[in-house]
Amino acid sequence: MNGPITVVVFLGIIIIFLALFFSFVPVGLWISALAANVKVSIFNLVGMRLRRVQPRRIVFPLIKATKAGLEVSVNQLEAHYLAGGNVDQVVDALIAAHRADFKLPFERAAAIDLAGRDVLEAVKMSVNPKVIETPNVSGVAKDGIELLAKARVTVRANLERLIGGAGEATVIARVGEGIVTTVGTSTSHKEVLENPDAISKTVLAKGLDAGTAFEILSIDIADVDVGRNIGAQLQTLQAEADKNIAQAKAEERRAMAVAREQEMRAAVVEAEAEVPRAMAQALREGKLGVMDYYDMQNVISDTRMRESISKVGDKKDKKTSYGNPSDVKE
């Protein structure tokens, strides 16, 4: 009775041991590597497990690299994986570069990947250049006419400067700066419309790809449109500003004249107020007699009466001249 139970227990222990062994040791992955003629030992796979490295992330890219004829070691792939890189993408980039027949060392590809760049996309762009289209760039010629230009920039990735090099935004900004400079130095906007290739030549001559991750192959002007008359608008604004300044100065002069007039009126009123005082002083000092004072008052009254009579006479003459329409016609 104890014999069969012992056998069953022993078989159970063996099954559990084998299950744990095959779950920890990737035997199937090791067999796949051997079938692909990739030299990787079972102990390396166990070591990857202990170092918390997924063996599939290393073995499958290693199989692809070996089949493509690349010399890549397990340690290189594992080190790149532990550094946080994308092993599969780096191997694909190496294979693409190998197929395109240009040299790309594993260290450079790994460095590009760790720098946050898409190394596979960079290799593809090196083989097949990319066209970057700029937005409408506004430039004003010397005659004051605005031109809106759009350019297509053909670039190729420069793997030597991909680490630390500027991106597409810098290329677009530099091309836009070159367009603005070229249009701004033109005497007339018609020159740019007649020879749009002058923009391309000027921009290419500036070496705008310096310090970028790209190599500019060509710059083609896709479209040039005539915009606003900036010169006329500026002249209009300047004339409006001059008019406002002139009006402000005129208003200032008018205000000063009004203030001066009020000051003079105040001075006259003040002087008139001094007349009675002066007359009283003259009477007290005997310089002016009482009869002289009355004679002066009579003269003033007579003068006022004559002025009133003359004004009434003028009004009657006007009514007589224009009162009868028939007389006016005759």
At 20-64, the pLDDT tens digits run 555 556 666 777 777 777 777 777 777 777 777 778 888 888 888
Can you tell me the distance from the alpha carbon of 147 to that of 229, in angstroms, rounded to the nearest whole number?
Answer: 9
| Assigned CATH for 130-232 | 3.30.479.30
Can you tell me the distance from the alpha carbon of 155 to that of 148, in angstroms, rounded to the nearest whole number?
Answer: 22
pLDDT of residue 122: 83
> Cα 113–118–123 angle (5° rounding)?
100
Six-digit token pair at 68?
A: 């493509």
At 112-121, the pLDDT tens digits run 888 888 888 8
Query: How is residue 161 annotated by DSSP?
Result: G
pLDDT of residue 235: 80
Can you tell me the distance from the alpha carbon of 27 to that of 91, in angstroms, rounded to the nearest whole number?
Answer: 24
Of 158, 157, 140, nearest in space to 149 by CA? 140
Determine if residue 197 is left, alpha or beta; phi over 0 gives left, psi from -120 to 50 gives alpha, anything else beta.
alpha
pLDDT one digit per residue (tens) for the chain, 330 residues: 456 777 666 666 776 655 655 555 666 677 777 777 777 777 777 777 777 777 888 888 888 888 888 888 888 888 888 888 888 888 888 888 888 887 888 888 888 888 888 888 888 888 888 888 888 888 888 888 888 888 888 888 877 777 777 778 888 888 888 888 888 888 777 877 777 777 777 777 777 777 787 888 888 887 788 878 777 777 888 888 888 888 888 888 888 888 888 888 888 887 777 777 777 777 777 776 767 777 777 877 888 888 788 777 666 565 555 555 444 443
Determine if residue 134 is left, alpha or beta; phi over 0 gives left, psi from -120 to 50 gives alpha, anything else beta.
beta
pLDDT of residue 314: 63
Q: Where are the domains of the chain?
A: 2-127, 130-232, 289-330
Of 58, 11, 63, nearest in space to 33 by CA? 63
Query: How is residue 70 annotated by DSSP?
Result: -
pLDDT of residue 329: 42
Torsion of CA 155, 158, 159, 163, to 10 degrees: -100
